[in-house]
Amino acid sequence: MKMVSTYRQVDMKTKQDQKRILVIDDEENMRHMLQTMLKRYGYDVSSAKNGSEGLTKISQQQFDFVLCDVKMPQMNGMEFLKAGRDHLLSSTVIMMSAYGSIDMAIEAMKLGAYDFISKPFKNEEIRLTIKKAEERERLKKENIELKNRIQRIGGSLSFGKMVGRSPVMQSVFSMALKVARFDSTVLITGESGTGKELVAQGIHRESERQSGPMIPVNCASIPESLMESELFGHVKGAFTGADKDKAGLFEAAEGGSLFLDEIGDIPVSLQPKLLRVLQESEVRPVGGGKARNVDVRVIAATSKDLEREMASGHFREDLFYRLNVIPIALPPLRRRLEDIPLLCQFFITRFNETLGSGIKNLTSEAMAALMLHDWPGNVRELENVIERAIVLAEGTTLEVGNFSFGRPGPTNADDGHGASYDGFSLKAARAELEDKMIRKALAETDGNRTHAARLLEISHPSLLSKMKLYGIE
């Protein structure tokens, strides 16, 4: 008796993890035997004495497995399969019968049953059949998930809350999707405003930790004197004001992900302790004598050049290599101008919902002006520019006058030996140079815009926008 009790404690799962099974059989002894056996194996078991009662139960509750007898009064097993088809789409049905035949088994399979067991059967036979069905469902689920991942990796225009069709962003999305399913540490680099936190959020949502917390930490905003306590926690009496034990952010992210933004700003004195957490998966609270294990995936990000920081002694080399297991570099917006039209539509749709506006599109002149801007603030700047333009717009179309930066345009042509512009505006000088280079590339390719775009190392849509802006036929 003691051995059975111990076995049940080991084999039983939590209520949340238990698979639900419905046993439908008109024989009370059979129902009782199956219930007792399946509960011992860790399943949550319900029963019904005929197909009609079983039909009522599956309409009220979802079951992972249904064990159903074929020959029963009021409604037999085959009738139950037909009547309950809509409620059994995500259930695995196993039919049981003492009068089984190959034809009956085939008919049951056609109606959606997974397997057919002939009575009488051994307890182990039932258990193995259910285990086999569980494995099939697991593989089917993994296969669907894998197909979805492959489809997204194959050319999705979005990842999490990010959008982009440029080759460089497609590469970023592909890498992020691939690494999401592993617990490896990720280091995301890029200028401010490129979307590093959005990539981290997307990786978390695509990972097996998605049901756990995603805790963001801006390392640059936490005072150095408080950072160790914030990250690792402290015990009561560790310092003045520590009137009780406090868990750190690593413990708060247990079972999920911790996003360490601006990791380049973490104090040098704290870097060895962070390295130990990454290596040993354990934290030691300030003032504590015992380390605590943590199950956390770390995703870090920085806008700093960490290799330069290492050279100057501001960042530990061993910590860098521990963080840089999977590097993801986000390009600035000026390096992916072909994404601007897609981003504009994305932000217009979002702000139409939040601001109650009715903007439909932009004029070609406005789009050309956006394509020529340098975007030092990257996607965050574009988002703010679009919001401001929507607020200022009087109609349903955003015009160039709704934007706060001027519209650059061509100036007098040079003499063929260099730019003739003698002012101080870099923007105007750039416009003059672009006009000249586009005309030169078109002349070199006999007007072939696809080849010209390749020579200029810009996208075809970007070339068309610039040609329209500069009046190039």
Closest CA to 57 of 22, 32, 85: 22
Contact 104, 116 (CB under 8 A): yes
**pLDDT score recorded for residue 100:** 67
**What pLDDT sits at residue 17?**
64
Q: What is the average pLDDT across 16-30? A: 86
DSSP 41: T
Residue from 283, 307, 285 nearest 293 by CA: 283
SS3 399: coil
Q: Is the pLDDT of residue 225 over 80?
A: yes
In Å, what is the CA distance from 104 to each residue of 84, 115, 371, 381? 18, 11, 68, 67
Q: What angle do CA 220, 224, 227 make, to 5 degrees?
A: 80
Q: Which residue has the higher pLDDT, 80 or 457?
A: 80
Mean pLDDT of 240-246: 84
DSSP string over 133-199 = HHHHHHHHHHHHHHHHHHHHHTT-SEETTEE--SHHHHHHHHHHHHHHTS---EEEE--TTS-HHHH
Q: What pTM was estimated for this model as a whole?
A: 0.57
Provide the CATH number for the domain formed by 186-329 in this structure.
3.40.50.300
What pLDDT is recorded for position 137? 79
CA 127 vs CA 18, 20, 36, 42, 216: distances in Å = 15, 14, 12, 11, 45
Quote the pLDDT of residue 411.
35
Token pair for 192: 């401010």
Q: Are 357 and 390 in contact (CB under 8 A)?
A: yes
pLDDT, residue 1, reads: 31
Q: Which of 98-112, 202-216, 222-236, 381-395 has the lowest mean pLDDT?
A: 98-112
**Is residue 123 classed as helix, strand or coil in its secondary structure?**
helix
The answer to whether domain 2-130 and domain 186-329 are alike in fold is yes
Higher pLDDT, 440 or 198: 198
Percentage, residues of the chain above pLDDT 90: 44
Q: Which residue has the higher pLDDT, 406 or 439?
A: 439
Residue 413: pLDDT band with limits 50, 70, 90: very low
Say which residue, 21 or 460, is predicted with more confidence. 21
- Asked if residue 185 has pLDDT above 90, the reply is yes
Question: If phi over 0 gives left and psi between -120 and 50 gives alpha, with beta otherwise, what is residue 365?
Answer: alpha
The predicted structure's pLDDT at residue 254: 94
Please determine, for residue 4, whether its predicted confidence score (pLDDT) is greater than 50.
no
* CATH fourth-level superfamily of 2-130: Response regulator (3.40.50.2300)
Separation of alpha carbons 356 and 283, rounded Å: 47
Q: Where are the domains of the chain?
A: 2-130, 186-329, 334-402
Decide which of 465 and 2 is more confident.
465
One-letter amino acid for residue 26 of the chain: D
**Residue 143: band (very low, low, confident or very high) from pLDDT cuts 50, 70, 90:** low
Per-residue pLDDT averaged across 244-250, rounded? 90
- Determine what percent of the chain is predicted with pLDDT higher than 70: 87
Q: What pLDDT is attached to residue 155?
A: 47
pLDDT at 156: 55
Q: What is the pLDDT of residue 415?
A: 38
CATH class of 334-402: mainly alpha
Say how many CA atoms lie within 13 Å of 335 toward its Cβ: 10
- The whole-number pLDDT of residue 429 equals 67
In this prediction, residue 151 carries a pLDDT of: 52
- Judge whether residue 19 has pLDDT over 60: yes
The amino acid that residue 237 corresponds to is G
